[in-house]
Amino acid sequence: MFVIIMGCGRVGARVAQMLTNAGHEVTVMDVQSGAFKRLGAEFKGSTILGDATDQEVLKRAGIERADAFLAATQGDNRNIMSSQIAKHVFGVKTVVTRIYDPLRSDTFAALGLHAISPTIIGANAFYEELTGDPASTGKV
Amino acid sequence: MYAIVAGGGKVGFFLARELIDQGHEVLIIENNPERAEFIANELGNVVLRGNADEASTLAEAGAERADVVIAVTGDDPRNLVLLQVAKRRFGARRTVARINDPRNEGLFRMLGIDATVNATQVMLSVLEQEIPHANLVPLLRLRNTDVEVVEAIVDARSAVTGSSLRDVDLPPESTIAVVIRNGAAFFPNGATVLESGDEVVALTRGMHEPRLRSLFFSER
């Protein structure tokens, strides 16, 4: 499948490498060209410098034929906005969004975004390691 | 009315001042401590320090009883998301966004924002009014459609001057709704002859606007 990833940080770059290694076509976007260094010299996908909250830039990245879109920048708002563009304007089938703020994450999950909150996942894992109990016993 | 203004920059500050003067209850959310202090000194105890795009800040602000939440930061993604949270999570009755990039206007509407204000677009409209012969002024776009209400001024050089309406070759899906002549408005019919100086209010689809425009341009 063809996947567009917005945000070439540690997570974005790693997912991009995993996908290309598994034989998928990948285009990574970032607003800083220096970020693409994280992909390494062996990277077989493409890179595009630009902001994925801009529909024209997304078109240049090939969003109209993308099977999946991942928004993994440091900014929740950017991730949420670009994911909604991918989903509602371009009809991308699978859209996954990183949202740090747990409350925002709930809201946009309810709005139909597939939100993954590293804050919740991390806190749950730490809790379980510390207590040996399932995270559900420490409800926030 | 209870209004929450997200962003205490120049736009937010002056907007809040006017709303307070009109007797409304206003809360400004501003993250920068110096700016928040400045606003509190000028306007009184109407500032909440915090990030308006965090749901917990909106909860603290009482977004669930807000009649309107207005997002006026200089960052479009932030304005969009905080208003969506205000509406969907807290049930704010009305959401209004300042838009910085004119291209985002349609998107914000599509994603449920009730009203948008775009300074660039306003400037463009004013300029179109000022530029000679560019005499078709977009007044408004009917909500969530591509139907536009436009105003045109007929002058001696317009292609339509002196023609009765039934002979005017209007673009498809366009209608001339009202003619204002010497300060009086009337509803025209096919026999109405357009005169130089008439103001015409027309409805059209965005895609047909250029053709409509050409009727009122100087090329005869």
- Look up the CATH number of the domain holding residue B198: 3.30.70.1450
Residues B152 and B203 in one domain: yes
3-state secondary structure of B36: helix
Residue burial B2-27, b: 16+ Cβ < 10 Å; e: rest: bbbbbbbbebbbebbbebbeeeeebb
Residues B98 and B137 in one domain: no
Cβ contacts of B194 within 8 Å, gap of 6 or more: B154, B158, B160, B161, B162, B163, B164, B165, B168, B179, B200
Is residue B69 domain-resident? Answer: yes
Is residue B70 domain-resident? Answer: yes
| B81-128 per-position pLDDT tens digit | 999 999 999 999 999 999 998 889 889 999 999 999 998 878 877 776
Are the beta carbons of B150 and B136 closer than 8 angstroms? yes
Residues B59 and B154 in one domain: no
Residues B10 and B69 in one domain: yes
Distances A103 to A31, A98, B79, B202 between C-alpha atoms, Å: 27, 13, 17, 46
Among B97, B118, B139, residue at a domain's last position: B118
Is residue B136 domain-resident? Answer: yes
Percent of chain B with pLDDT over 70: 93
Among B67, B86, B118, residue at a domain's last position: B118
Neighbour-count burial of A122, counting CB atoms closer than 10 A to its CB (0-12 exposed, 13-18 middle, 19+ buried): exposed
Residues B139 and B89 in one domain: no
Is residue B153 domain-resident? Answer: yes
Residue burial B169-183, b: 16+ Cβ < 10 Å; e: rest: ebbeebebeebebee
Q: What is the token pair recorded at A33?
A: 């060209």
Number of residue pairs across A and B with CB atoms under 8 Å?
56
Q: What is the token pair recorded at B34?
A: 């110096």
Among B118, B139, B157, residue at a domain's last position: B118
Domain boundaries, chain A: 2-138
Interface of A with B in 55-114 (CB under 8 A): 55-56, 75-78, 80-81, 84-85, 88-89, 101, 103-104, 106-108, 110-111
| Distance between B129 CA and the closest CA of chain A, angstroms | 29
CB contact under 8 A, B53 and A81: no
For residue B60, the domain's CATH number is 3.40.50.720
Is residue B165 domain-resident? Answer: yes
Are the beta carbons of B130 and B124 closer than 8 angstroms? no
Which of B31, B78, B81, B109 to mutate against chain A (most A CBs within 10 Å)?
B81
Answering whether pTM is above 0.80, one says no
Pairing of β B2-6 and β B25-30 = parallel
ipTM (interface pTM): 0.85
In angstroms, the CA B68 to CA B177 distance is 33
Residues B196 and B157 in one domain: yes
Residues B77 and B9 in one domain: yes
Domain that holds residue B107: 2-118
Residues B101 and B57 in one domain: yes
| Distance between B204 CA and the closest CA of chain A, angstroms | 24
CB contact under 8 A, B81 and A104: yes
Of A73, A77, A81, A82, the closest CA to residue A52 belongs to A82
Backbone angles phi, psi at A119, to 5 degrees: -60, -50
Number of domains, chain B: 2
- What separation, in Å, do the N-terminal and C-terminal C-alpha atoms of chain B show? 53
In angstroms, the CA A45 to CA A63 distance is 15
Residues B141 and B101 in one domain: no
Question: A2-138 adopts what CATH topology?
Answer: Rossmann fold (3.40.50)
DSSP, residue by residue, A26-47 = EEEEES-GGGGGGG-TT--SEE
Residues B52 and B94 in one domain: yes
pLDDT in tens, chain B (220 residues): 999 999 999 999 999 999 999 999 999 999 999 999 999 999 999 999 999 988 889 999 999 999 999 999 999 999 999 999 999 999 999 999 999 988 898 899 999 999 999 988 788 777 766 654 446 666 777 777 888 888 888 887 788 888 888 888 888 899 999 999 988 999 999 999 998 888 888 898 888 887 887 787 654 3
Is residue B123 domain-resident? Answer: no
In angstroms, the CA B6 to CA B83 distance is 9
Backbone angles phi, psi at B189, to 5 degrees: -125, -175
Neighbour-count burial of B219, counting CB atoms closer than 10 A to its CB (0-12 exposed, 13-18 middle, 19+ buried): exposed
CB contact under 8 A, A111 and B84: yes
Which of B51, B79, B85, B95 to mutate against chain A (most A CBs within 10 Å)?
B85
Residues B76 and B140 in one domain: no
Of A64, A66, A56, the closest CA to residue A28 belongs to A66
Q: Using the structure block, give the residue that is written with the tokens 């994603």.
A: B111
Backbone angles phi, psi at B141, to 5 degrees: -110, 130
Q: Considering only the beta carbons, identify the residue of B55, B103, B107 that sits closest to A107.
A: B55
Is residue B30 domain-resident? Answer: yes
Q: What is the token pair recorded at A8?
A: 């070439």
CB contact under 8 A, B81 and A103: no
In sequence order, the β-bridge partners of residue B147 are B205
